[in-house]
Structure 1
Amino acid sequence: MAGGAGVTLGRAGRLARIAASGPGRWQGLGIYALVLALNFAGVWVSLRLIAWNKTFFDALENLDGATALRQVGLFFLLTAMSAGSWLAADWLRKLLLIRWRARLTQAALDLWIGNRAYWLLRAGYSDQPVENPDQRISEDCRLFVDNLLTFTLDLISTLVGLFSFVAVLWAAADFALSLTVLGTEISIPRYMVWLAPVYAALSTVLTHGLGKPLKRVYFDRERVEADFRHALVRVRDQADTIAQSSGEAAESRRLAGRFGAIVQNWRQVMRAELVLGLFMRPYMQTVLRIPTFLALPIYFAGAVTLGGLMQIASAFSNVVTELSWFIFKYRDLAGFVAVCERLDGLMSLSKAPAPAGAALQRIARQDPGDGAVRIAGLRLATPQGRWLDPVPDAAIAPGQTVVIQGASGGGKTTLLSALTGLWPWGEGRIAAPRGRLLVLPAGAPVMDDNILAAASYPEPPETHGLPRVHMVLERVGLGHRLRMDTGTSGLSMGERQRLGLARAALNRPDWLFLDEATAALDSAAEADLLRWLRRELPAATLIIVAHRPPRGVDPDQILAIGATEPGRKTA
């Protein structure tokens, strides 16, 4: 278990350094110190309340009304101080939470997006795919910082309070407990001081033994909840396809299956928490009363007054409560361990995302020197090691129009990914294109909820000038969408492909890759828009994947993929 704790501390330390770093780190540490100081003020109030217990109950025992009344006033003053320090600390802690969460989230996004881990760390593309990265970045960053602040602030305050309360108990419990065991009289000086750690230690060991399964079921809980949310998002995003395919029953089965996993995990959580609760609940309800029972022998022996009894019981309760920090926080700590594992795993893998190793990764990328693209001896493979159809050697000069043809599944789209530098699986040589690249992928995905931003993606509309964006959208036949609203919901496939052509015209790439980018347009519209696009981009190189020769442009060359080479079947 020590090794497991060390691993968790290492993960938490790495993530904490990231969260607390960056611009404004000293302000963040200053806020942390201020919250800690306010927590210490709360400890001081607790010490004053221990002393208050003795004075108040002694006044009751002596029927001293004036002293009791003054102590009532002091009680409300101490309560106001405690509430004020707690509220101030809570407000500052929340301020620090959002600062550190923002920093940690940005660091996770930089690794996930900047290193193209979002592309590589997928099932089928990596030996270590990351499941539900959206949930890890969104929820786990928040949960980690929240728990980090809660645990560290509480633990430091607990340690300070523990030493303070032990000092009070040591001074107040200055008596011995005499016992006769097998005819031998045994005297235990300050027995209340020694009972506290023994009582808490035994309870901590029992808590850990009963609660050990919680970490795994909490880890699984976050995964199955994220899977269910992802399935619901899919229904929203694919609403047209599902409705047109009468896929309601299939989606209902899929959602029921995902929710069934939640139900199964929830039952595991219930069992694990019930086992732990069989001990924890009675412990939490008795921890404030047992000290009084343990001190009764001394009270009945006349060694302490009623006020002294209440002071000792209060000090003992505080010592045991501080020593029971691990017990009271066990469920939250189990969740924190799972959060650290998920989030640190995401960030560690994203630092150097590695593609799956089943296939060869021997594509040599060279600088052509003259701006052309050259392909020589290129064979592409799937990540699992299956060779795709052979790619003919070719030289593509800047400004040419090239059409790539071949059977479905033969590797036409994969060739585009290889030319852009994304696809690592295969062998051969590619002289990579220079300049700005833009790919209009098959399926014409829309990259923003606003049609103006979607047309200019990845640049903001203001980069191109709003009048220019409006003019291009009118030219591709989407002016009616501007007049209706600027949303992108309900776009047909043809409208989405028109939007993609608008993106190309606005971004003015040097190399434009069109993957079935006009397949949903009628022949007249395709010819009109491709002629217009070629006039807009006279110097751009167009590489077009199409099952039929596109209308409106005259290809300089056609690359036919599909001449099968016998023999080699796997990479």
Structure 2
Amino acid sequence: MQRLGAAVAVFAALTLAAGVHLGDANLFLLAAAAGLCAFTTWRSATISSFLKIFVSIFSVETIVFGAVRLLEVEGLWPASLADYALPESMSLTVAVFSIIVFGLSHIPVVREMTRIADLYFDTQDRGELHIWGLPTFRVREPLIAVAMIVTLVLISQGLVGVSVRLSFIRRDYYTALQEMNAGEFWRLFLFGFTPWAFVHVVVAVIDYVLQSTLIIRWRQWLTQHYVTRWLGGRRHYAMALVGGVTDNPDQRIAEDVNRFIDGGDSGYGIYSYSILLISKLSSLVSYSIVLWDISSAFTFFEANIAIPGLLFWAALVYAAIGTVTTHLIGRPLTSLLFEKQRREADFRFSLARLREYGEQIALLRGEGAEGASLVRRFGAIVANYFAIIDLRKKLVSFTATFNQLSIIIPFVLTAPFYFAGKIKFGVMRQTADAFDNVETALTFFVDYYVFLSDFRSVLDRLASFDAAANRADELNAAQPATRAERRDIAFDVKLALPDGRRIVEATSLELAPGESALLTGPSGSGKSTLFRAVAGIWPYSEGRIEIPEGAKVMLLPQRPYVPIGSLARAVAYPAEPETYSRHEIAEALEAARLPGFVAHLEEESNWGQRLSGGEQQRVAVARALLAEPDWLFLDEATSALDEKLEGEIYAMLRERLPNTTIVSIGHRSSLLAFHQRHIAMEQEADGTFAPREAVLA
């Protein structure tokens, strides 16, 4: 950015010299704007990577358009290209745009928005790019995105240029109609309007294809980023412990990422607003020039007094009134839309839970309670919905009135001059078009207020997701399990609950390899919490748990996770089913006393619902047989089995995993026969529990 800033500074110096040479005040103004643009471009090295793209585009255009302007004023522009000369203010306009983008980069909400966008534009990942007629090649993903955005910005600016050109053609077109000039009418129709309209259509199609490609690539990358951030380092578990505003992180990834980039149903996300703003600004400048020039024809009294830029100032005042009023009416909308998404996500989650626990609910005859709960949750959605309706009713009333008046005002302003014979119908029509474009650009805030509020709520949800992920990282950094050069597992740790209450003090416990142990104690004494700490997922702790370096530790919970897919995948999880041969998986199922399921290994199903609790626990045991861990912790992992089958499973584990040390949590006295040590959780005077050696009966 420094080199580009220096190049703009050189252009500013040349423009200043030309201004001195020709005595042209407009060149002095351009030189001043270019000088400020050079400064902001130089300083843009520290701003968002996403915004740097736009600063670079406008700064380069400042030089290019400015160079054309200097050629014109010095009389060096070819006469054959006189019809294609740029408007005098073009280079000044893009210089101002570059300065505005730099200024926007310091607004807090823009910084938060671009922080998320920069995740994509700062990545080192490489993506595949296929250009028609060329072989596919790999290049850094941000370079692909930047190339697309630059092209789209240029297309957007080109479309505005075409639109302005068409406004002049329509002016002459309507004037030809008024004057009954058939020859001029057909000439403008065939050789003026039609070619430019065709160009507009072709460019619009190219714009759509590029835009759609950029959006899906961006969404694909950002979704993968948030999925990795959620699951990486077991953040998903820590984020669930944190709770708070991080409700339904799955919905954030599935919906809010899409809404951030593409806007979802509204169609307005960060990309849309960026390009839309550029288009609106370009349209504003271009049509403001048209309005300003037309205003000279609107003269008052016999002295033909003209107010410079009359129509432009009228559009500006009208837009300012609309913008301020809209904001005053709609301020609470952002928080209401944020709450809407949260309540919708809660309701969907409740429905999913109902489906997941259908059997348990049916057994307890809990349909009535679940129905009442769903009605309450949906009632919250309805209450929020009516609050949004009440607010949007006021917004719609104002914006609809505002937009209807927008159609009438330019005709009200121009009609007296038209009837006085000072302007022709084509000028009147062009004035209406130009006024509409200027007013629309200036009332961007009015027209898109609801969408902007919705976008802000999406931004807030993604920001809270990132904040919770950062908090999860802090928690995970405090987890006590560490690797050490030793053979046993040693505990010198104090564990607490998320609310801060201390629950376990294990300050002198050691588990020796090859020595199976049974951990017992009353419910709520922290047995499972101790196991979670060993697994490295419990962050509320002081002290440390030393685990042998390189040892493979596996924990089987009371309720194992069974993924949707083939049974082979469920048994091999978390490894891919191809990691093991079908013979090894079948053998593990048979050893876990599930021989009847061997024939269903390739069957795709929701096995978590098809299998009973005891069958799910035996699938988890089969996983342990395949994984062959050094340490196997069973957290009531056989509680759904009868005592006879439970005994067979323990005997089988001892036989098939002779090098695995088994540590169990259980309540049945029959488990004592399968373990060499008995450790009991005993309550201390301060209410905490400590593991103490117990005598085997």
TM-score normalized with structure 2 length: 0.75
Alignment of 1:199 with 2:318, yes or no, is: yes
Deviations 1:418-470, CA, capped at 9 Å, x for gaps = 22222233445422344222111112332344321111111101112233223
State the partner residue of 1:502. Answer: 622
Q: How does 1:292-331 map to 2 (within 5 A)?
A: 292-331=411-450
Query: What is the one-letter code of the residue matched to 1:112?
Result: W
Query: What is the one-letter code of the residue matched to 2:228?
Result: D
Counterparts of 2:104 and 2:185, CA distance in 1: 54
State the partner residue of 1:251. Answer: 370
State the partner residue of 2:224. Answer: 106
State the partner residue of 1:347. Answer: 466
Counterparts of 1:363 and 1:92, CA distance in 2: 47
Q: How does 1:521-532 map to 2 (within 5 A)?
A: 521-532=641-652
Superposed displacement of residue 366, structure 1? 5.6
Q: How does 1:379-528 map to 2 (within 5 A)?
A: 379-388=494-503, 391=506, 393-434=508-549, 435-484=551-600, 485-487=603-605, 488=607, 489-528=609-648
Superposed displacement of residue 368, structure 1? 4.7
Superposed displacement of residue 234, structure 1? 0.3
- Return the structure number with greater relative CO, CA threshold 8 A, min gap 6: 1
State the partner residue of 1:153. Answer: 275
Counterparts of 2:374 and 2:595, CA distance in 1: 38
State the partner residue of 1:277. Answer: 396
Q: How does 1:73-112 map to 2 (within 5 A)?
A: 73=190, 74-112=192-230
Counterparts of 2:160 and 2:446, CA distance in 1: 20
Gaps in structure 1 of 5+ consecutive residues: none
Counterparts of 2:507 and 2:163, CA distance in 1: 81
Deviations 1:376-419, CA, capped at 9 Å, x for gaps = 4x443322233336547322122321111111111111110122
- Partner SS state of residue 561, structure 2: coil
- Partner SS state of residue 640, structure 2: coil
- Partner SS state of residue 472, structure 2: coil
Deviations 1:241-295, CA, capped at 9 Å, x for gaps = 1111111101101111110011001001101111111111122233233212211
Q: How does 1:369-388 map to 2 (within 5 A)?
A: 369-376=485-492, 378-388=493-503
Query: What is the one-letter code of the residue matched to 1:509?
Result: P
The equivalent position to 1:26 in structure 2, one of 122, 143, 157, is 143
Cα distance, 1:251–1:4 mapped onto 2, change above 3 Å: farther
Superposed displacement of residue 568, structure 1? 5.3
Query: What is the one-letter code of the residue matched to 2:576?
Result: P
Cα distance, 1:411–1:191 mapped onto 2, change above 3 Å: same
Counterparts of 1:409 and 1:568, CA distance in 2: 11
Alignment of 1:138 with 2:239, yes or no, is: no
State the partner residue of 2:87. Answer: none
Counterparts of 2:562 and 2:494, CA distance in 1: 31
The equivalent position to 2:110 in structure 1, one of 6, 9, 12, is 9
Contact conserved, 2:558 with 2:617, CA < 8 A, in 1? no
The equivalent position to 2:328 in structure 1, one of 186, 204, 209, is 209
Query: What is the one-letter code of the residue matched to 2:632?
Result: L
Query: What is the one-letter code of the residue matched to 2:628?
Result: R
Cα distance, 1:92–1:393 mapped onto 2, change above 3 Å: same
Alignment of 1:171 with 2:289, yes or no, is: no
State the partner residue of 2:164. Answer: 47
- Partner SS state of residue 370, structure 1: coil
Counterparts of 2:490 and 2:633, CA distance in 1: 16
Counterparts of 2:647 and 2:585, CA distance in 1: 22
- Partner SS state of residue 393, structure 1: strand
Cα distance, 1:135–1:366 mapped onto 2, change above 3 Å: closer
- Partner SS state of residue 380, structure 1: strand
State the partner residue of 2:238. Answer: 120
Identical aligned residues as a percent: 32
Deviations 1:114-134, CA, capped at 9 Å, x for gaps = 143211222xx3274511111
Superposed displacement of residue 483, structure 1? 2.9
Counterparts of 2:252 and 2:638, CA distance in 1: 37
Query: What is the one-letter code of the residue matched to 2:200?
Result: S
Cα distance, 1:334–1:130 mapped onto 2, change above 3 Å: same
Alignment of 1:218 with 2:337, yes or no, is: yes
Cα distance, 1:21–1:379 mapped onto 2, change above 3 Å: closer
Query: What is the one-letter code of the residue matched to 1:81?
Result: V
Contact conserved, 1:175 with 1:190, CA < 8 A, in 2? no
The equivalent position to 2:173 in structure 1, one of 56, 63, 67, is 56
Deviations 1:74-127, CA, capped at 9 Å, x for gaps = 4444333323322321222111111111222222222222143211222xx327
Cα distance, 1:277–1:364 mapped onto 2, change above 3 Å: closer
State the partner residue of 1:190. Answer: 309
Of the structure 1 ranges 282-291 and 200-209, higher mean CA displacement relative to structure 2 is found in: 282-291
Counterparts of 2:167 and 2:198, CA distance in 1: 16
Counterparts of 2:557 and 2:687, CA distance in 1: 30
State the partner residue of 2:154. Answer: 37
- Partner SS state of residue 473, structure 1: helix
Alignment of 1:237 with 2:356, yes or no, is: yes
More helix as a share of residues: 2
Counterparts of 2:614 and 2:679, CA distance in 1: 26
Contact conserved, 1:433 with 1:511, CA < 8 A, in 2? no
State the partner residue of 1:260. Answer: 379
Contact conserved, 2:336 with 2:388, CA < 8 A, in 1? yes
Cα distance, 1:84–1:77 mapped onto 2, change above 3 Å: same
Counterparts of 1:64 and 1:481, CA distance in 2: 87
Alignment of 1:557 with 2:557, yes or no, is: no
Of the structure 1 ranges 384-393 and 9-18, higher mean CA displacement relative to structure 2 is found in: 384-393
Cα distance, 1:244–1:160 mapped onto 2, change above 3 Å: same
- Partner SS state of residue 442, structure 1: coil
Of the structure 1 ranges 465-474 and 20-29, higher mean CA displacement relative to structure 2 is found in: 465-474
Counterparts of 1:320 and 1:364, CA distance in 2: 62
Superposed displacement of residue 167, structure 1? 1.8
Contact conserved, 2:481 with 2:533, CA < 8 A, in 1? no
Superposed displacement of residue 178, structure 1? 3.2
Deviations 1:346-392, CA, capped at 9 Å, x for gaps = 113313426789xxx9986565522211124x443322233336547
Cα distance, 1:513–1:306 mapped onto 2, change above 3 Å: same
- Partner SS state of residue 31, structure 1: helix
Contact conserved, 1:363 with 1:428, CA < 8 A, in 2? no
- Partner SS state of residue 287, structure 1: helix
State the partner residue of 1:65. Answer: 182
The equivalent position to 1:227 in structure 2, one of 346, 360, 374, is 346
- Partner SS state of residue 418, structure 1: helix
Of the structure 1 ranges 227-236 and 64-73, higher mean CA displacement relative to structure 2 is found in: 64-73
Cα distance, 1:363–1:193 mapped onto 2, change above 3 Å: closer
Counterparts of 2:104 and 2:183, CA distance in 1: 59
Superposed displacement of residue 67, structure 1? 2.1
State the partner residue of 1:338. Answer: 457
Cα distance, 1:179–1:258 mapped onto 2, change above 3 Å: farther
Query: What is the one-letter code of the residue matched to 1:451?
Result: L
Counterparts of 2:465 and 2:538, CA distance in 1: 22
Counterparts of 2:499 and 2:105, CA distance in 1: 34
